[in-house]
A and B are shown apart, each in its own frame.
Chain A
Amino acid sequence: MRAAKAILEALKREGVDTIFGFPGGSVIPLYDALYDSEIRHILVRHEQGAGHAADGYARASGKVGVCLATSGPGATNLVTPIANAYMDSVPMVALTGQVSRHLIGLDSFQEADITGITLPIVKHSYLVKDSADLQRIIREAFHIARSGRPGPVLIDIPVDVTKEDVDFDPTLLPAMHLPGYRPNLKGHPKQIKEAARIIATAQRPVIYAGGGVIIAEASPELQQLALYGHIPVTTTLTGKGCFPEDHELSMGMLGMHGTQYANYAISRSDLIVAVGVRFDDRVTGNLAAFAPEARFVHIDLDPAEISKNVAVDVPIVGDAKRVLAALSEELAKLELSPDRHLPWMNQVEAWKRDHPLVIRESPDGQIMPEFAVNKIWEVSRGEAIICTEVGQHQMWAAQHYLSHYPRRFITSAGLGTMGFGFPAAIGAQAACPDAQVIDIAGDGSFQMTLQELATAVQHHLPVKVCIINNQYLGMVRQWQELFWNCRYSCTCMECQPDFVKLAEAYGAEGYRATQEDDLEEVLRVALATDQPAVIDIHVAREANVYPMIPAGGTIHDMMEGDR
């Protein structure tokens, strides 16, 4: 069998049903094999779109996302998506073509050392020198990408390798050889007991949960822990949805643009149970002043995250699902009374009551951005898979599009990649054909990858793009306003396309709303169509995201904004 075909067979064995890619010289044999393969190929318009779509596919489905690009510029265009997947621990396999083996190292046409370029941003990578290794490498790559702390794995395949004849037996599973790779899944029982003990005696406990809970499929166990321990829960941006945000124990998101009550609770807590989080600077602000009164239990699969930023009192290395289940069991044995920290629960309730997230009223019928997000939530009944770009709209979406289930809020958190949301939404829609998928976008971000409208139309992926359009690079403008004397250097998008006509030019549907009163009707029509659609929502131009704790700040620096 030709190696190119054997590669696709190996992908199928790993459960791959969809590949996002873009052809080129070094992958012609692979594309030739795809021509009559059962694997669906989604043709993007830029390789960056392929990478982010694979990312969105993976986050929405929990499966490994696969993208494919040619050598040289095709491969380098995958660098941003690979870095993005690495930062947010997304399981992804990136296949790149490479020039023929005898041309490697000679500065050949469309040659780039993509394994070298991506070294710091992959979980692992392979350059295939021998077609006999292909089956083993593909199996290892998928195993590494999806197990332990997931991440992107790159397989760089010289074109001549894909043209060779190889033995392929679909019934024969190739042996893996990974002597140095043994993720530790089971938490230490003694540590789990110790954690239960200090939870039982804590007076002001908080659970701080993140993306790791979603990756581990540990939402039910997290809820169990919160209920048994009567502990309020705050989540990170990537953790959104791991705990239902309408639950009475939910405090929403914490950090720079988190809710005031979550941040107050963290600042006064005496015990933080951190699960699947990495104490990112956007969460902690000034590390020295982060949760100054708290002890820490930290549950994470990656030992390198333990005590990286914050010294931890009870580290538990293990899979969140198993550890949380064991911890809940321990807590259940203790039969804790819900009243044991009643003053704390009352305090949290009071903070929630006194400092809620607000949807500001429009002074003149203009659409306020939070109002827009809230309307999207209402019209989609809170059931949509939300993808976002990066900036103000992302934070408004995180604050006001309440998520009740995991894998429904897909956002570029760690790398903060503008242009991520739309291709990610395409990937999510490919993974979940029956779901309503909405990209809550900014006008700046959307323009970075909007050519993927053609992809959505061609492949009948009815993604809805809601542009929160303020004609600014709004988040940078907000910082310029607050910290740089309103000097709006290069953040005003003076020239913009007509997004409605643009959508129509691609064969998608275009809608626009400029007044508060019109928005609901526009959304009802636009979200109901079975076509891809762009909804251009003109919002109050200089609205800011509040609350805000400035970078490196503390709870005392929190800006509440105007009501």
Chain B
Amino acid sequence: MKHTLSVLVENKPGVLTRVAGLFARRGFNIDSLVVAETENEAVSRMTITVNEQDQPLEQVTKQLHKLINVLKITDLDPSGSVERELLLIKVRSDAQSRSEIMQVVEIFRAKIIDVSREVLLMEMTGTREKVTAFLELLKPFGVVELMRTGRIAMSRGKRPT
């Protein structure tokens, strides 16, 4: 089962290493990791997706809490939060396939960012599942390159994440 941890940390050098090192040491693989500043520039948010395998996640969150630079940890419940991932993808296209691709883009509310004679560059945001579905439909055209940001997530309602 995939878990999304939203971790507020002090925006200081070395904090990412401390957090990543802790996961490695306690035997957890990080699936995806997004780190960026928040509305407060002294604070960064790490959104960490992990696979909860044999060990419970509890031990790793408790250990995370012990890092001096960690301010707050939220284990996001999928039903109480929205999640997004950004995909950039470059797909082969010629005159014939172009319109077909554009249809897929429209259905998924993706965007074409750059067009050249041989390729189309698109961006798309959505849940991990939606991004994956979009990707599957584009694969037959020939994927030149793709990049995914990994998941960010925010809790619904007034309460901050």
Chain A positions near chain B (C-beta within 8 angstroms) = 115-116, 119-120, 123-124, 127, 144, 178-181, 302-304, 306-308
79-129 of chain B: CB within 8 A of chain A: none
Contact stretch, chosen from B10-18, B44-52, B132-140: B10-18
* CA A283 to CA B72, docked complex, whole Å: 33
Distance in Å from the Cβ of A309 to the closest Cβ of chain B? Answer: 10
A304 and B14 contact, Cβ closer than 8 Å, known pairs A119-B21, A120-B21, A180-B71:
no
Residues of B close to A302: CB separation below 8 A: 66
* Cross-chain contact A144 with B63 (CB below 8 angstroms): no
A180 and B59 contact, Cβ closer than 8 Å, known pairs A119-B18, A124-B68, A304-B66:
no
* Cross-chain contact B59 with A308 (CB below 8 angstroms): yes
Which one of A119, A127, A302, A307 has the highest number of Cβ atoms from chain B below 10 Å of its Cβ? Answer: A119
* Cross-chain contact A116 with B17 (CB below 8 angstroms): yes
* CA A119 to CA B62, docked complex, whole Å: 17
Residues of A close to B18: CB separation below 8 A: 119
Q: Flag whether B155 is at the interface (Cβ < 8 A).
A: no
Residues of A close to B22: CB separation below 8 A: 120
Query: Given contacts A116-B17, A181-B68, A304-B59, could you give 4 more A-B pairs where the C-beta distance is less than 8 Å?
Result: A120-B21, A127-B14, A178-B68, A180-B69
Distance in Å from the Cβ of B107 to the closest Cβ of chain A? Answer: 44
Q: Flag whether B65 is at the interface (Cβ < 8 A).
A: yes
* Cross-chain contact B65 with A304 (CB below 8 angstroms): yes
Residues of B close to A120: CB separation below 8 A: 21-22, 25
* CA A543 to CA B14, docked complex, whole Å: 50
The 9 closest A-B pairs by CB, nearest first: A304-B62, A180-B71, A124-B68, A181-B68, A180-B70, A304-B63, A303-B62, A119-B21, A120-B25
Q: Flag whether B67 is at the interface (Cβ < 8 A).
A: yes
CB closest chain-B residue, reference A304 = B62
Distance in Å from the Cβ of B25 to the closest Cβ of chain A? Answer: 5
Chain B positions near chain A (C-beta within 8 angstroms) = 9-10, 13-14, 17-18, 21-22, 25, 58-59, 62-63, 65-71
- B interface: dominant SS: helix
Which one of A123, A181, A308 has the highest number of Cβ atoms from chain B below 10 Å of its Cβ? Answer: A181
A144 and B68 contact, Cβ closer than 8 Å, known pairs A303-B62, A304-B62:
yes
Distance in Å from the Cβ of A558 to the closest Cβ of chain B? Answer: 30
Distance in Å from the Cβ of B77 to the closest Cβ of chain A? Answer: 21
* Cross-chain contact A303 with B59 (CB below 8 angstroms): no
CB closest chain-B residue, reference A302 = B66
* CA A127 to CA B18, docked complex, whole Å: 14
* Cross-chain contact B25 with A180 (CB below 8 angstroms): no
Selected contact of B14 from candidates A115, A307, A308, CB within 8 Å: A115
* CA A251 to CA B137, docked complex, whole Å: 70
Selected contact of A119 from candidates B13, B17, B66, B70, CB within 8 Å: B17
Residues of B close to A116: CB separation below 8 A: 17
Distance in Å from the Cβ of A353 to the closest Cβ of chain B? Answer: 42
Distance in Å from the Cβ of A494 to the closest Cβ of chain B? Answer: 39
* CA A119 to CA B14, docked complex, whole Å: 10
CB closest chain-B residue, reference A181 = B68
* CA A115 to CA B21, docked complex, whole Å: 13
Which one of A116, A124, A180, A307 has the highest number of Cβ atoms from chain B below 10 Å of its Cβ? Answer: A180
* Cross-chain contact A180 with B21 (CB below 8 angstroms): no
Residues of B close to A124: CB separation below 8 A: 68
Selected contact of A180 from candidates B10, B13, B62, B63, CB within 8 Å: B10
Subset of 24 A-B contacts with CB under 8 Å: A115-B14, A119-B17, A119-B18, A119-B21, A120-B21, A120-B25, A123-B66, A127-B13, A127-B14, A144-B68, A178-B68, A179-B10, A180-B10, A180-B67, A180-B68, A180-B69, A180-B70, A180-B71, A181-B68, A303-B62, A303-B65, A304-B63, A304-B66, A306-B62
Residues of B close to A180: CB separation below 8 A: 9-10, 67-71
CB closest chain-B residue, reference A180 = B71
Residues of B close to A119: CB separation below 8 A: 17-18, 21
